[in-house]
Amino acid sequence: MKHYVLHSNGKFSHFGNLILELNSIESNLHPEMFQLLTSPDEVPLNTDSCENLLKASKQIRLIRNHLSSYLEPDVDAINLISYAEEALSVCELIQFSIKLGTALCQAGRNPSADKIGLGLVNLGIHNLPATVKTDLANRLITVIQKFRLNLESNYCDETVSKNMRPLYSLLENLIPESTESHETDFQACLADYSVKRFDFGDPCINPAFNATESQLRYLTMCPREAKICQVEITTINKVFSGIERRCAVNCYPTCFTRGYGLEYQACTYCCGSIDPEDFDQETASDYRCPM
């Protein structure tokens, strides 16, 4: 994190103390926190480290609540919003690291009542239940969006790319495997995690930045024969109601309207196919399905 030069009077002193507390949590969890984000399967978990994660979780929630109060402009003091936003993005990154570590702790506990053998082992994220991995993936998408926006406003593209690469890699590992044959399924495209906002003029954009967690089912696998991304948008009285994306072999652009007084409209858009070489690359372009 950046170092902040703050005055000693009330508001600045309080903000400075929050930053010091946040740095203290980072220091206490390091290197476990960093390793949980880069190579979680190799973290040497034990009972003490799991208890430390639980303690840090309570501390970070308290700091986050206090930092949120600085998001409102204060006419009587220097605006601290930009600093608070950066600190909050770090908080969310730490919180996710703790959440992932806690999940690994719960999954790796020795179920034996007499505790024969090791009390806790790191089974790795691939052995976490599918529902847990899905929850973690959804949470990480939100963290990635905010963290990347913060980086882009403060650092050059090369630094942003370098810092985001481990998070994207972790996200791919957290997406649960399909129950169907691996020969017919692909991983989700990273284009799904674009930070572009939804635009009716460009419906092929699939911005998780603008999606709710319930809409993050966009991260579906695509069958081998899929060559087209089909986007269905519904509106009620011309107000956005919902969006659904799916991979398709064929697609026909259509629009139909029904209702009187309360007008319901559903439109289907066809997004072009891609070259397989474009698949699995970080991009902020159109929503794409692998061929």
What's the pLDDT at 143? 86
Query: Who's near 151: CB < 8 A, 6+ residues apart?
Result: 159, 160, 163, 164
Choose the weakest-confidence range: 20-24, 164-168, 174-178, 219-223.
219-223
The per-residue pLDDT for range 39-75, each reduced to its tens digit, is 898 888 888 888 888 888 888 888 888 888 777 766 4
The per-residue pLDDT for range 68-91, each reduced to its tens digit, is 877 776 645 556 777 888 888 888
Using the 8-state DSSP alphabet, how is residue 288 labeled? -
Element (H, E) at 284: none
> What DSSP line would sit under 50-119, residue for residue?
HHHHHHHHHHHHHHHHHHHGGGS--TTS---HHHHHHHHHHHHHHHHHHHHHHHHHHHTB---TT--S-S
Whether 10 shows a pLDDT value over 50: the answer reads yes
Please state the domain extents for the chain. 10-174, 190-278
The domain defined by 190-278 carries CATH number 2.10.60: yes
The Cα 130–Cα 174 span in angstroms is 9
The Cα 273–Cα 289 span in angstroms is 7
Query: Who's near 282: CB < 8 A, 6+ residues apart?
Result: 161, 164, 165, 168, 190
The per-residue pLDDT for range 209-256, each reduced to its tens digit, is 444 433 444 434 455 555 566 777 777 777 766 667 666 667 777 887
Radius of gyration of the chain (CA): 22
Whether 100 shows a pLDDT value over 90: the answer reads yes
Indicate if the alpha-carbon torsion angle 249, 250, 253, 257 is positive or negative: negative
What's the pLDDT at 255? 82
Contact, 192 vs 219, CB < 8 A?
Answer: yes
Whether 289 shows a pLDDT value over 50: the answer reads no
Q: Is 259 left (phi over 0), alpha (psi -120 to 50) or beta?
A: left
Largest CA distance in the chain: 70
The per-residue pLDDT for range 13-42, each reduced to its tens digit, is 777 788 888 777 777 766 778 888 888 988
The Cα 205–Cα 7 span in angstroms is 44
Q: The sheet that has 239-248: what strands, in order across it?
A: 239-248, 228-236, 264-271, 254-258
The Cα 282–Cα 191 span in angstroms is 6
Q: What is this structure's pTM?
A: 0.56
Contact, 55 vs 79, CB < 8 A?
Answer: no
Helix (H, G, I), strand (E, B) or coil at 264: strand
Q: Quick one: which of 236, 114, 128 has its CA closest to 176?
A: 128
β-bridge mates for residue 232, sequence order: 244, 268
The per-residue pLDDT for range 190-218, each reduced to its tens digit, is 344 344 455 556 666 554 444 443 344 44
* Structure tokens given for 28: 């206490």
